[in-house]
């Protein structure tokens, strides 16, 4: 059984850093979003940027595995990518949309990094209002979140050790 890695965490927690590390070895999903690109983001690598209309067409055409609205924007995993990719970034709401069968074939890694570190990281890449808005939205989205297999709390985690832990967990989970 092939297990998928689902990375989950609040803004500034290190999700993208770990995804980039995994992209050297595995196929990483590129999610759809209606959010405009931020500085430095690349179409087809960071996200597939689509209009609200195109997103609705994907949804109505049953082309999405999961989808969420977060902070006024839509995000989604395409069904084709779900079949062909190994690594996904999702929100708690997106994870909650997975079928029980699909969830059992995933290892969810939750980056639960303390607020001070996340705020510092976000302030380096965003303005103050956006930082506070994102932090507030995350607090609501992650309230009572507990559907994860591995929890990372150290902001200076070792990517190689974490990947080894995921592989060890996957071996135990499939036996």
Residue 92: pLDDT above 80? yes
Confidence of residue 1 (pLDDT cuts 50, 70, 90): very low
Tens digit of each residue's pLDDT (9 = 90 or more) over 141-160: 899 999 999 999 999 999 99
Tens digit of each residue's pLDDT (9 = 90 or more) over 95-142: 999 999 999 999 999 999 999 999 999 988 766 568 888 898 899 989
Per-residue pLDDT at 126: 66
Domains, in order of start, for the chain? 1-29+86-175 (3.40.50.300), 30-84 (3.30.63.10)
Q: How far apart (Å, rounded) are the C-alpha atoms in residues 135 and 130?
A: 8
Rounded (5°) CA angle 98-101-102: 45
Tens digit of each residue's pLDDT (9 = 90 or more) over 35-91: 999 888 899 988 999 999 999 999 999 999 999 998 789 999 999 999 999 999 999
Give Cβ neighbours of residue 133 (< 8 Å, ≥ 6 apart).
Answer: 71
Q: Compute how many other C-beta atoms are within 10 angstroms of the C-beta atom of residue 91.
A: 21
Residue 62, phi then psi, degrees to nearest 5: 60, 40
Angle between helices 128-141 and 115-125 (to 10 degrees): 140
Confidence of residue 175 (pLDDT cuts 50, 70, 90): low
Per-residue pLDDT at 128: 58
Bridge partners of 167? none
Report DSSP state, residue 41. -
Report DSSP state, residue 156. T
Taken in order 124, 23, 65, 33, is the CA torsion positive or negative?
Answer: positive
The radius of gyration of the chain's CA atoms, rounded to the nearest angstrom, is 16
| Residue (of 92, 111, 113, 117) closest to 103 by Cα position | 92
């Amino acid at each position: 059984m092939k297990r998928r890695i689902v990375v989950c965490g609040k803004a500034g927690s290190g999700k993208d850093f770990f995804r980039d590390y995994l992209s050297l070895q595995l196929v990483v999903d590129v999610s759809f979003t209606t959010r405009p690109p931020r500085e430095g983001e690349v179409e087809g690598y960071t996200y597939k940027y689509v209009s609200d209309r195109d997103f609705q067409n994907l949804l109505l055409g049953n082309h999405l595995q999961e989808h969420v609205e977060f902070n006024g924007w839509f995000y989604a995993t395409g069904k084709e990518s779900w079949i062909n990719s190994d690594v996904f970034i999702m929100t708690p709401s997106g994870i909650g949309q997975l079928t029980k069968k699909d969830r059992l074939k995933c290892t969810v890694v939750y980056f639960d990094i303390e607020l001070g570190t996340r705020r510092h990281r976000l302030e380096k890449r965003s303005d103050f209002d956006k930082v506070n808005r994102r932090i507030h939205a995350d607090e609501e989205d992650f309230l009572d979140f507990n559907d994860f297999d591995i929890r990372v709390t150290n902001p200076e985690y070792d990517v190689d050790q974490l990947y080894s832990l995921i592989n060890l967990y996957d071996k135990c989970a499939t036996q």
